[in-house]
């Protein structure tokens, strides 16, 4: 369904469509994270991916609860944006041999994923509030907080890489 298809008539429809989009995205991310974990050499990065995989599973449960609150079955819609981000990171990672360079590529790819999630959750929270669904907004805020914390951890890892390189 295209974003401007006639099936989206109201803010409610738009909210649900975007909820289905992030639900699909989170599921794709649970498939991508184990592969990223495997490729990472830095133990902190590896462990960070592992932790975020568990968080992502919890986020999927939060989303399922939001669907329930909206009296809807949890369902995903194709999200070409997240597919593209994951596909691009796989392509780049496949071309890198040096483990340190590969870690840098993985951090960059993971941050692209987190930033996508942050924009989606930000929008969903605003719309949930507009629709008078602060109950849904509260659950979505929990997911957003985890994405932001993950992004910050990735920034710290990226910066410690740069510092280590400078000290060499
Ligand atoms: Fe997520
Ligand atoms: Fe995330």
Question: What ligand has the least distance to the C-alpha of 26?
Answer: 1
Q: Which ligand is nearest to the CA of 121?
A: 1
Structure confidence at residue 5 as a pLDDT band (50, 70, 90): low
Ligand 1 mean position, distance from CA 166 (Å):
33
pLDDT digits (tens, 9 = 90+) for 76-134: 999 999 999 999 999 888 889 999 999 999 999 999 999 999 999 999 999 999 999 99
Structural contact between residues 50 and 163, judged by C-beta atoms closer than 8 angstroms = no
Residue 43: partners with Cβ closer than 8 Å, 6 or more residues away = none
Q: Which ligand is nearest to the CA of 147?
A: 2
Task: Please tell me the distance between residue 25's alpha carbon and the centre of ligand 2 in angstroms.
Answer: 10
The span from the CA of 5 to the CA of 36, in Å, is 35
Q: Tens digits of per-residue pLDDT, 128-166?
A: 999 999 999 999 999 999 999 999 999 999 999 777 776
CA of 52 to the centre of ligand 2 (A): 7
Q: Give the residue from 63, 3, 5, 53 showing the smallest Cα distance to 28.
A: 53
Among the bound ligands, the one closest to the CA of 115:
2
Report if pTM > 0.85: yes
- Closest ligand to residue 56's CA: 1
Maximum CA pair distance of the chain? 58
Please report the pLDDT score of residue 93 as a whole number.
Answer: 87
- Amino acid 92: pLDDT: 87
Neighbours of 31 (CB within 10 A): 10
Tokens, residue 141: 């805020």
| Residues composing the chain | 168
Which residue's entry shows tokens 């597919």?
Answer: 83
Interatomic CA distance for residues 14 and 17, integer angstroms: 5
Residue-level pLDDT at 84: 95
Of residues 9 and 74, the one with the higher pLDDT is 74
Structure token digits, residue 13: 């429809």
Tell me, what's the pLDDT at 6?
66
Q: Tokens for 157, please give them.
A: 């890892």
Q: What is the pLDDT of residue 26?
A: 98
Distance between Cα 59 and ligand 1 center (Å): 6
């Amino acid at each position: 369904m295209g974003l401007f298809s006639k099936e989206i008539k109201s803010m409610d429809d738009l909210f649900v469509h975007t909820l289905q989009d992030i639900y699909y995205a989170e599921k794709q991310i649970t498939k991508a994270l184990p592969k990223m974990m495997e490729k990472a050499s830095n133990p902190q990065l590896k462990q960070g991916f592992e932790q975020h995989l568990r968080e992502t599973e919890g986020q999927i449960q939060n989303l399922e609860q939001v669907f329930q609150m909206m009296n809807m079955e949890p369902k995903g819609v194709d999200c070409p944006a997240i597919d593209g981000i994951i596909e691009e990171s796989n392509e780049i990672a496949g071309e890198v041999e040096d483990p340190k360079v590969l870690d840098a590529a993985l951090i960059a790819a993971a941050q692209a994923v987190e930033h996508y999630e942050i924009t989606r959750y930000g929008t969903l929270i605003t719309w949930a509030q507009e629709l008078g669904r602060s109950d849904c907004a509260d659950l979505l805020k929990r997911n957003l907080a985890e994405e932001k914390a993950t992004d910050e951890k990735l920034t710290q890892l990226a910066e410690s890489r740069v510092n280590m390189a400078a000290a060499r």
